Amino acid sequence: MAGISIGAALIVIALCAGALAVVDAVSDVRDSASDARESRELRDQSCLELERRLNRLNPPGAAANPAARAVAVRDENAAVRIYVGEISNARAQDGWRQLVDARAVYADALDRQSKSRNPAFYVSPRNADGEPLAEDLVAWSPAPCAGPIRRLAAPDL
């Protein structure tokens, strides 16, 4: 009788431990989902902040001459660099840097155009498949970043 009681007690203890493990696992899943949601919201908010910063600036296409357009491109690049520093995904961060670098080269070409009349052309960065990198950035970045990416990918506008 004592053996049966001890066996029953062990079974009850095992069931309680198993139930606690299941509850803990469910709690961890909920915490992970909550953390992911919070992280996504922070990234979305960062994109919206980027868009607000860009909207405060004059677009390069509205500039009257190449030198002013170069200044506008550099101003936008400065606004983007703040966002790039907040990106945790290395691949996306590298893509954003390539976009900013291409725009910086374009701004330098615009400066040369204003002095020598040699036309400046923006060369959009490409991925390994030869496709525009901006399309990859749209896929890798939060949805609110799609507008700023498209704006930045066309500095002539």
The pLDDT of residue 5: 74
The pLDDT of residue 75 is above 70 = yes
**Rounded to 5 degrees, what angle do the CA atoms 150, 153, 155 make?**
110
Please choose, from the candidates 80, 85, 72, 84, the residue with its C-alpha nearest in 3D space to the C-alpha of residue 52: 80
The pLDDT of residue 116 is above 60 = yes
Across 1-15, 114-128, 133-147, least confident range: 1-15
The pLDDT of residue 77: 97
As a whole-number percent, the residues of the chain with pLDDT over 90 amount to 62
Choice between 13 and 33, residue whose per-residue pLDDT is larger: 13
User: For helices 66-84 and 2-55, what crossing angle results, to 10°?
Assistant: 170
The pLDDT of residue 115 is above 70 = yes
The pLDDT of residue 21: 74
Query: Which residues does 80 contact at the CB level (< 8 Å), separation at least 6?
Result: 50, 54, 96, 99, 100, 148, 152
Mean pLDDT score across all residues of the chain = 87
Categorize the per-residue pLDDT at 28 as very low, low, confident or very high, splitting at 50, 70 and 90. low
The pLDDT of residue 87 is above 80 = yes
Instruction: Identify residue 103 by its one-letter amino acid code.
Output: R
